[in-house]
Amino acid sequence: MSDANAKCFKCKDAVCTEDQLTCQNCKNPFHFMCVGQAESSFRKMSKDRKAGWKCIDCKDVKEKEQNKDKDNRNDQNKEKSKKESKNQERDAFNIEMKTMEENGNKLMDYLNSKFQSLENSIKDQKDDVIKALNLKVKELEEKLEERDQKIADLEDRMDFIENRSRISNVEIRNMPETKNEDVQFLVESIGHTLGISVKEGDIQIAHRVQNRDGSNKNRPIIAHLGSRYIRNKWLKQYKDYKRSGNLVANKINPNLPNSNIYIYEHVTIKTKLLLNEVRAYAKENGIKFVWVKDGMILIKRSESDRHVTKISTKREFETYKIHKNRNFQNV
């Protein structure tokens, strides 16, 4: 018998109950032959198997969802691997610092024991013992100074390595934050506003990071671009754009407020703090230009000055201040 209301979803003809397969997911009825089932196979199908049957469209949707989940897991694994590698570098650095600190403590313990021995020494040998210990103290002080120098060198090197790892990144500041926003699409929109042709792969990943003061208002966006060349193109387009006016949020999205957007190289906190010091010094001493390029702080005293000084560490900055009338390092 045919159900007058049942029509095959594929051929649109009436379908009787005996020849009908109904999709478990979309609930649409089909002739068994319209979905590629042989009659002999169809007649042998159990009631449970018929009840669990799905049409090809619903199966495709499930497969696409599974593939998407697999891609997401792959991306998560890659990000996890990067974090683990960075953690391993940090752990190795911490171990070396701890070892050097322990060695320093051992040296100090040795020094204390020598002073204790001095108190128990024979008075006739007092002057010689004191002289020997003074020499040892000087030696230990030199070793401690050497240790401090090595620590500073390692910290500077770690900061350099971290800046190099960000060489393809830009930091976007003061971009208004909205609920359920697509940060990557937002970055693409900024690129289009700047006149950049954003191709697939140009933006590897984009995400917001915490403000230094812990607030959640307009958190900075970090965009990992495809290469250093692409990053430089973004910075140049931003600089060219600013010649005709500030980049504002409502030019990117009319629904956003009229707030200025800023794009910088993505550098470490240590470099940012040093940059603030250099800018304050430049303001006090009439130095006209201070900027960042490839994680390095650059100084140019005036428009006519042909020399550009490169500063990457606090020690280099201190040396520059001592010899400010000479070039520390020319680019």
Rounded mean pLDDT of 47-75? Answer: 81
The architecture that CATH gives domain 168-265 is: 2-Layer Sandwich (3.30)
Residue 180 gets the label, from left (phi > 0), alpha (psi -120 to 50) or beta, of left
pLDDT in the model for residue 231: 96
Specify the pLDDT at position 3. 53
pTM, rounded to two decimals: 0.55
Nearest-Å Rg of the Cα atoms of the chain is: 34
Q: Could you tell me where the beta strands, DSSP code E, fall in the chain?
A: 2-7, 14-16, 20-22, 29-31, 169-173, 203-208, 221-225, 262-265, 289-293, 296-300, 309-311
Residue 107: partners with Cβ closer than 8 Å, 6 or more residues away: 140, 143, 144
The stretch 68-85 carries a mean pLDDT of 78
Residues 297 and 277 sit within 8 Å (Cβ to Cβ): no
Across the range 139-156, mean pLDDT stands at 90
pLDDT for residue 227 = 96
Model confidence at 2, pLDDT cuts 50, 70, 90, reads very low
Residue 188 has pLDDT above 60, yes or no: yes
pLDDT in tens, 296-306: 999 999 988 88
Of 53-57, 111-115, 258-262, which gets the smallest average pLDDT?
111-115
For the chain, the average pLDDT equals 88
pLDDT of 331 strictly over 50:
no
Residue 73 above 50 pLDDT? yes
Strand 296-300 vs strand 2-7: parallel, antiparallel, or unpaired? unpaired
Write down the pLDDT at residue 96: 82
pLDDT at residue 325, as a whole number: 52
Angstrom CA distances, 46 to 42, 50, 52, 53, stand at: 9, 6, 10, 11
Percent of the chain with pLDDT over 70: 94
Q: Which band of pLDDT confidence, cut at 50, 70 and 90, is reported for residue 70?
A: confident
Query: 168-265: same fold as 1-54?
Result: no
Topology of the domain comprising 1-54: Herpes Virus-1 (3.30.40)
pLDDT at 218 over 70: yes
The rounded distance, in Å, linking the Cα atoms of 171 and 40 is 65
What tens digit of pLDDT does each residue of 130-141 get? 888 888 889 898
Taking the domains of the chain in order of start, what are their residue ranges?
Answer: 1-54, 119-166, 168-265, 269-329
Of 19-33, 80-94, 144-158, 209-223, the range with the lowest mean pLDDT is 80-94
pLDDT digits (tens, 9 = 90+) for 99-109: 888 888 888 88
What is the average pLDDT across 9-29? 90
Work out the burial of residue 127: count CB atoms within 10 Å of its CB; fewer than 13 is exposed, 13-18 middle, 19 or more buried: exposed
Specify the pLDDT at position 276. Answer: 96
Whole-number pLDDT of residue 185: 95
With contact defined as beta carbons under 8 Å apart, do 24 and 54 qualify? yes
* Residue 120: band (very low, low, confident or very high) from pLDDT cuts 50, 70, 90: low
